[in-house]
Amino acid sequence: MDILIAGAGAIGVVMGATLHTAGCAVSVYARGGTRDAIAAGGLHRRGLFGDADVPAEDVTVSDGLGAFGPERFDYIVISVKTLANDELSQALAEHREILKPDGKLVIMQNGWGNDAAYLAHFPKEQVCSARVITGFQRLEPNVSNITVHTAPVLLGNLYGLPVDGLTPLAGAIAAGGIPCETTEDVGAALWAKMVYNCALNPLGAVLGLHYGALMDTPASRAIMDDVIDEIFAVMHAAGYSTYWDSPEAYKKEFYGKLVPDTYDHNSSTLQDIRKKHPTEIGTLTGKIIELGAAHGVPTPVNTMLYRLIRTIEGNYQYRK
């Protein structure tokens, strides 16, 4: 298979190295220092699931989609920050010839609603989603470390369409060392991750704490309980569902397995804030607030956390 990684952040670097290990031809769409680092030194995965290395001569990297040629890619893995979705979707639409006629876009991002930008240009059959509940830390522009893992990567289609076309990609990711499966209900998986991320990411980023510290401290645990309660109310009001019928049932899994499995992880939101980068809070907590407003569900705790993150972002110049 021929696969393009669109966005070589922490997850993009890992996926590129993993898929190369499985025998796939890997190309990367990246810019600036990231492009230069990959061109000079290849791609490197570290941490859980072992090392995987791609020599520079075995990866094609470019900052222009037109450089890749027509009908080349079986899959394009979308792993840019969600803030770049509008720009990337437009660029892919202008160079749609690089994707094979039966090729697929696979969105590997945090949040909900990221598919909208791509559906504006591509049919539902080609726009697919992935649930990734694994923790990553980018050590260098072309080196990424897997820090924690709690469940397989899940690939699927949000619109009730067959997932057979994703089976080769799932098999390649698994063969490269990261557990991966297809699912007929990726929406439930994405909502499970939304609850997880929205409970942990903004609070951990505001307090500067890893996931385990949030669980172990009664006051922060109470805040996360409130966040989870609000999200379940919003999710149900909006007509969505996940694997647990109630917030109480989810909390048992959350505190009993999910957080312990990812105990030492610092969220991507905290990592962004420490680098003074824009966060993805808009497609996480921001989406909960948006859906809550649309369906008449109050979200005071989520709203406060969202405003705190936006305050931190707005005052980066004062942070050491």
Q: Is 309 helix (H, G, I), strand (E, B) or coil?
A: helix
Exposed / middle / buried, residue 275 (Cβ in 10 Å: 0-12, 13-18, 19+): exposed
For the chain, where do the domains classified as CATH 3.40.50.720 start and end? 2-184
State residue 301's pLDDT score: 98
Instruction: Select the CATH number that applies to the domain covering 2-184 from these four: 3.30.365.10, 3.40.50.720, 3.90.470.10, 3.20.20.140.
Output: 3.40.50.720
Residues of the chain with CATH 1.10.1040.10: 188-318
Tallying the residues shown for the chain, one arrives at: 320
In this predicted structure, what is the pLDDT of residue 319?
77
Query: Phi and psi dihedrals of 275, rounded to 5?
Result: -95, 0
- pLDDT given for residue 318 in this prediction: 84
Mean pLDDT, 10 residues at a time, the chain of 320 residues: 96 97 97 96 96 97 94 97 96 97 96 96 97 92 94 96 97 97 97 97 97 97 98 98 97 96 93 95 97 98 98 89
The residue to which tokens 């805040």 are assigned: 223
**Who's near 260: CB < 8 A, 6+ residues apart?**
212, 215
Question: 3-state SS string over 173-216?
Answer: HHHCCCCEEECCCHHHHHHHHHHHHHHHHHHHHHHCCCHHHHHH
For residue 140, the model assigns a pLDDT of 95
* DSSP 8-state assignment for residue 157: -
Tell me the CATH architecture of domain 188-318: Orthogonal Bundle (1.10)
Both tokens assigned to 118: 């791509």
pTM value is 0.93
